[in-house]
A and B are shown apart, each in its own frame.
Chain A
Amino acid sequence: MSRSRGAAALRVADAVPVFAALADATRLSLLGRLSVDGPLSITRLSEGTGVTRQAVTKHLSALGAAGLVRNSWRGRERVWELDRKRLEKAKWCLDQISAQWDAAAERLRAFVEDD
């Protein structure tokens, strides 16, 4: 248990920019759109949202800086999509603690059943 708790702590620092980027309703809804419909252009992303293209651009930059989205050219259009690898890294926390309890429970089993 101790080894993975240590590893988890080391990764907290890495995760902070990700959570800072996620701590915004507009950015989360952009991620939601990209998850369902992506890749999408800024024009498409701002349609029907009440958020200006400029604001969408700014939020995408924040998400991009945290490594959560990336952009590429599709023909003459720049499109944005989720960077799923980075998202997966952000999920360490409870999975890790859960795995630690699995390991601890197995050590407890060995401890009480081997008597």
Chain B
Amino acid sequence: MSQRSPGAPPTPGLLQGVDRLTIPVRNLAKAELFYTQVLGAEVVERDGTELGAEEQPCVHAQLCPGVELALVKQAFGWQPIDTSNPHVAFEIPGADVDRWVAHLAAWGVPSALVFREDYVVEIGVPTRVELHFLDPDGTQFELLAYDYPMDDRAARGHYNPWDLYYGPLAWPPPRT
């Protein structure tokens, strides 16, 4: 992708920042479990509501500095598994990528590690990598690092979205 402004990043004038990103979920308790335990969010408000055609119950949780998620109970509007947009992407340190893969797997969440074709560099050289996975309701997430050492294990460009599916009824995995 070409960059129109290669110098200092431009600054838009009207909108200040993100108030919150809303995520549709089937089950609030299950969503809270996923976002707090698996992704590390902290609950800000458990008994919230979002307005729409009706007052929809929700849980507000802060996922990282300045970004709050509203997990909203909604009975429809799910994304097909092989449709990658909309999605939300957050940055993690490259040193944590392998541990995130193991952490997601331990919670029964399949993931795909992807190097984009634009970023094909020599083995060992720090580069951009994407870690794709789904929440229990099928909402697509991406964790990305800009300083992950290139290796030959991850996919380049493509991944199979069906490999990420695990289904809302099958999660969380049973205790051992």
Chain A bound to chain B: no
